[in-house]
Amino acid sequence: MRKQIIYLFFILFYSLQSCQSISVSNDIPVLQNKKKIGFINQVTDVKCDSCYALRTVKIDNKNLIFKIPVSLNNINNKNIFQEDYELLLDQSANGLSIKYNSLNNSDSYIFKIKKNKNNIAITRINKGSSSVNHHKIAKDDYVDYPATSICEKETNHVLSYNREINLNNYFINSDTNCFLCPSKYSVQECLEKKKMNTKFNWK
């Protein structure tokens, strides 16, 4: 019994140490020009111009601070501070990445992260958004299938530990190097199928 308890404790400790998490707080400050003007999910009468919240991600025991845009959303006739994006750190078999999902529309970004000695850099950016594929089935005959528009971009942006990082500055603003994928697949599945030149099944 004692050995089982020690084993379970070891597994729990290892899991906690291995987990790369994003800081979460019930009272996340909303800032404007570096001054606190409220908290996330707080009802307010304050004007919100270029408001933001700060989120901390730990990679290799070092903190990266991300600047998340904040807007006023009207809920039940009340103005409430809410973040525009959800920030998630993903460690998978495909490597390390940051998922940056819009909470206002279908846009979703994946920032591929690579560690080089003392630096951490964004090496690839993928953008996914809802779309429609006008699929030709016969001459002058088309059928519409729900799709995800995916755009890709190779890059090399070194992330600094000593300043706030705004991922919006690295958005893909061009329609070049984009393709449509059936919405039944995840963005990662779409990218893998494209890499393997697998034909998409639209039915």
The whole-number pLDDT of residue 188 equals 87
Q: Mean pLDDT throughout 54-75?
A: 92
CA distances from 85 to 111, 187, 200 (A): 14, 18, 30
CA distances from 79 to 26, 40, 46, 91, 138 (A): 18, 11, 9, 36, 51
Maximum distance among all Cα pairs of the chain, rounded to whole angstroms: 73
Q: Are the C-beta atoms of residues 68 and 87 closer than 8 Å to each other?
A: yes
The whole-number pLDDT of residue 124 equals 94
The whole-number pLDDT of residue 18 equals 36
pLDDT band at 180 (very low <50, low <70, confident <90, very high): very high
Q: Are the C-beta atoms of residues 139 and 152 closer than 8 Å to each other?
A: no
Task: Please check the confidence at residue 25 and state whether its pLDDT lies above 70.
Answer: no
Q: What integer best gives the mean pLDDT of the chain?
A: 85
Query: Which of 20-34, 45-59, 66-80, 187-201 is predicted with the least confidence, judged by mean pLDDT?
Result: 20-34
**Which pTM does this prediction carry?**
0.80
Strand partners, 143: 135
The whole-number pLDDT of residue 26 equals 58
Paired tokens of 2: 């004692």
Task: Please check the confidence at residue 1 and state whether its pLDDT lies above 60.
Answer: no
Backbone torsions φ then ψ of 117, nearest 5 degrees? 50, -110
The whole-number pLDDT of residue 140 equals 82
Task: Please check the confidence at residue 135 and state whether its pLDDT lies above 60.
Answer: yes
Q: Are the C-beta atoms of residues 174 and 182 closer than 8 Å to each other?
A: no
